[in-house]
Every structure is written in C-alpha cells, then in structure tokens.
Amino acid sequence: MSLRDQLQTALKEAMKAKAADRLSTLRLVNAAIKDRDIASRGDGGPEEIAEADILAVLGRMVKQRQESARAYEEGGRLELAEKEQAEIKVIEEFLPRQLDAAEVEAAIAAAVAEVGASSIRDMGKVMGVLKAKYTGQMDFGAVGPRIKDRLG
C-alpha cells in the first residue's frame, strides 16, 4: 500500500473513531501533500508527487513542529508544546524508522566511497546519494557537518 493510501486509510479510521486531534493532524498532512501536488503541476511536473517527496513533506512537518514545541516550552506554554508533540507522533507513524548514529556514519562512509569524494567540493554529490537512499530516515541538517568533517 502506498504512503498516500496509508494516509487516506488512517484519515477514514480517525473519522470513524471520532479522534479529533488525530483527524486534525492527518488533515494537515493531506493538505500539505495536496499543496505540493499543485505546486508540482504548476511547474510542469507530474500530477501527483512521488513517495520520496511525500516523505520530505512529512519530514519538514515534523521539523516545524519540533521547533514550535521548543519555542512553546521556552515560553512556558506547555499545553501547546504537548499538542505539537502529539502531532509529531501522528506524523512519525508514516515515516520510516530513523537511522541511529552508527547507521548514519555507515551510510555517509558508503556514500563517500560510492561517489569517490575526496574534498569538500564533493559534498553535494554525497548529499545527493544520501537523499536518494535515506529520505525521511535521517536529519540532513545534522548530516551536513558530519560529511564536512569527513571530507575536510
């Protein structure tokens, strides 16, 4: 079953179960995906975005909510931070398992070897390989400095 179908099924189940918070989050996810579909069509792309693009949208949504939760906690708004954390849990159900630190290091080493990277100029190639294989499974913001250390 495709990720898009899984999301639709979960949306229907949340409606039937009258799970308002879950339903709200799933509707936000679907709206974000539809926005990307529309943007893709406007750029002359396909009618629907690919599975990797959906994973990227979900990853961005998780990151936004993590930043919001952190800001709410710093501002003493714990009830809003908890709401953001609950949304993160719902979204993460549809993301693949996150790689641990050792797996990330192994993936970086494999990507460096695959493209024959030898200097910092090859960082874009390494990131391209990692994004193609591990979208949604690692935080590319944190991976960048690790690649720099390895190539620098």
Domain residue limits, the chain: 3-92, 101-151
Band of residue 119 on the pLDDT scale cut at 50, 70, 90: confident
Average pLDDT, the chain: 90
Please determine whether the domains at 3-92 and 101-151 fall in the same fold group of CATH.
no
pTM score: 0.74
pLDDT reported for residue 87: 95
Q: Which of 8-12, 36-40, 77-81 has the lowest mean pLDDT?
A: 36-40
pLDDT reported for residue 135: 76
- Residue 56 CA to residue 75 CA, distance in Å, equals 29
pLDDT reported for residue 46: 81
**pLDDT tens digits, 130-148:** 888 887 788 888 888 888 8
Going from the C-alpha of 87 to that of each of 21, 44, 45, 53, 94, the distances in angstroms are 8, 32, 30, 20, 12
Q: Which long-range contacts (CB under 8 A, 24 or more apart) does 126-132 make?
A: 126/151, 132/52
Q: Per CATH, is 101-151 categorized as 1.10.10.410?
A: yes
Q: Per CATH, is 3-92 categorized as 1.10.357.10?
A: no
Q: Mean pLDDT, to the nearest integer, of 4-22? A: 94
| Packed helices 51-74 and 78-92: angle between N→C axes, nearest 10 degrees | 160
**pLDDT tens digits, 52-108:** 889 889 989 998 999 999 999 999 999 999 999 999 999 999 988 888 888 888 999
Residue with tokens 């944190």: 142
The answer, yes or no, to whether residue 20 has pLDDT greater than 90, is yes
- Residue 1 CA to residue 8 CA, distance in Å, equals 11
Band of residue 25 on the pLDDT scale cut at 50, 70, 90: very high
pLDDT reported for residue 1: 82
**Burial class for 152, CB neighbours closer than 10 Å (0-12, 13-18, 19+):** exposed
